[in-house]
Amino acid sequence: MLSLTIYISFIGALVVAMLPAKPSSMARILALMVAVAGLVVGVVGYVADFGKGLVILTDKAWVPSMGIHYLLAADGISRTLVLLTGLAAVAGVLFSWNIELRTNEFFAFFLALIGGVYGVFLSYDLFLLFVFYEIAIVPKYFLIAIWGSTRREYAAMKLALYSFVGSAMVLIGLLAAYATSGSHSTSLIALHAAGLPVSFQMWCFPLVFIGFGILAGMWPFHTWAPTGHVAAPTAASMLLAGVVMKLGAYGCLRVGIWLLPHGLDPWGWSFIGIGSWRDVFAVLAVIGIVYGALVALAQTDFKFVIGYSSVSHMGFVLLGLMTLNQVGITGAVMQMFSHGVIAGLLFAIVGRIVYERTHTRQLAELETMHLSRRIPFAAWAFVIAGMASMGLPGFSGFVAELQVLIGAWMAKPWWVVAAGLGIVVGVAYTWRAMQKAFFGDGKASVHDLEQERAHPFAAITWPEVTGVVLLASVSLAVGLYPRMLLDQIEPAVKALLAGGVQ
């Protein structure tokens, strides 16, 4: 049932691509219908399989001579992320309602990207996962290169090449694991049970983890992310930061940690406290959290602040993964969901609501525009989104980050100290951006007021309102009643850890 999400998205993409370019409303409406259909299927599948463990959706032999199967399956983690993708897809379409240039091609690439993402989350065969992972690269390139803004061609090429290099590393790991396990099957379940030797896992794990980590925005391979997010059109930024970076984190979890658990074993010697790949990646995650936050604090471009905050928040996900305990990894998956929703909201506000009206993202210029008075909806929305992003209790971010920190404390206390620093700086950069953009100090002069009356901003449209309400209410609901997600995620994480991760 959940596999319908993939097929609906790809067929939708094909149909939208063949539509004529001129009445762009046809493309939009069809894209919205497809995205909503995907979300509905995701929700129904989520609720229907609540409490069940791993559910196999499709298993067809694809290349029997090599043991490759078209194997789709979902456990609690996959179902949660499919739900996230559905939300991000609908919100993305809503916030792209005003695109007039080559609308049908835009939504075709958008839906193709969504289809690829659904495919990664639902694949349980490593080869199939890799295929969907790579399918997602090409639409990203075109979305940014054609409809993007600042330095779009450079940003698009950088993003495409970094993603491709990351997936090349994963391909090497995939071929190695397949060959070492006897070339019988590429199904994740079979490879997990194949008992890959520890010495093999010791070098394959970092290769695969870094390969997926590049897409997850792991420091120091994160540099494609701020450039790419800023250059991308709003919907693409929302998808990139919201869902595509989670593809990398999901790969780290499912393929890295589950398939190659002994790669995290201690080496037997340690150097300044680092004695295993677990320590290495945890340190990189913590650096990512603090570095991302500090750099966000120094930005002059509103969208760059959000871009770097994504790097910082993804650091929490990676830190949670490296705790290797129930609480930490659950927190990491929660953070994937929470940050997906919140980052989508933030990019939507900055890109669609503010930039499309003010035509500038420079905080210094926005400071003079009195946005809290002229577009109060944007100010309200950003205050809510900013609080959620900071980790205010009541929103999903708090639940996620709390669990990650508890898990980190159980693993190595000093990680919590450094991560906590990141949270404090997080408050700083969020409030700084909020204040500069919306609540600038100066009193409006008479001349300013005349200008504003002469050139008023466009009114807030219904797609924008719907999108903001959708995302904000999801974050609030999960923050107030996290069990709606935790009851799915926790059993799945328990099963994953029981499979051999110490």
Binding residues vs other proteins (CB under 8 A): 62-66, 127, 130-131, 134-135, 137-138, 141-142, 145-146, 153, 156-157, 160-161, 164-165, 168, 171-172, 175-176, 178-180, 183
Which amino acid appears at position 453 of this protein?
R
Q: Which is nearer to other proteins, 63 or 298 (CB)?
A: 63
- Within 8 A by CB and 6+ apart from 6, the residues are 72, 115, 118, 119, 122
Least Å from the CB of residue 151 to other proteins? 13
Here the tokens at position 178 are: 């397949």
Residue 163: closest CA among 205, 128, 215, 127? 215
Q: Which is nearer to other proteins, 154 or 355 (CB)?
A: 154
Number of other residues whose CB lies within 10 A of the CB of residue 25 = 10
Least Å from the CB of residue 170 to other proteins? 10
Q: Which is nearer to other proteins, 43 or 138 (CB)?
A: 138
Least Å from the CB of residue 33 to other proteins? 24
On whether the CB atoms of residues 313 and 339 are closer than 8 A, the answer is yes
Which amino acid appears at position 241 of this protein?
A
List C-alpha distances in Å: 481 to 257, 298, 402: 29, 35, 15
Q: Which is nearer to other proteins, 186 or 234 (CB)?
A: 186
Least Å from the CB of residue 44 to other proteins? 27
Question: What does the angle CA 135 – CA 19 – CA 29 come to, to the nearest 5 degrees?
Answer: 85
On whether the CB atoms of residues 293 and 449 are closer than 8 A, the answer is no
Residue 74: closest CA among 117, 121, 133? 121
Q: How far apart are CA 228 and CA 75, in angstroms?
A: 31
Least Å from the CB of residue 310 to other proteins? 24
- Within 8 A by CB and 6+ apart from 332, the residues are 249, 253, 316, 317, 318, 319, 320, 321, 323, 400, 404
Q: How far apart are CA 234 and CA 353, in angstroms?
A: 10
Q: How far apart are CA 447 and CA 255, in angstroms?
A: 61
Least Å from the CB of residue 26 to other proteins? 17
Least Å from the CB of residue 493 to other proteins? 30
Q: Which is nearer to other proteins, 142 or 277 (CB)?
A: 142
Least Å from the CB of residue 129 to other proteins? 11
Q: Which is nearer to other proteins, 35 or 177 (CB)?
A: 177
Q: Which is nearer to other proteins, 161 or 193 (CB)?
A: 161
Q: Which is nearer to other proteins, 56 or 168 (CB)?
A: 168
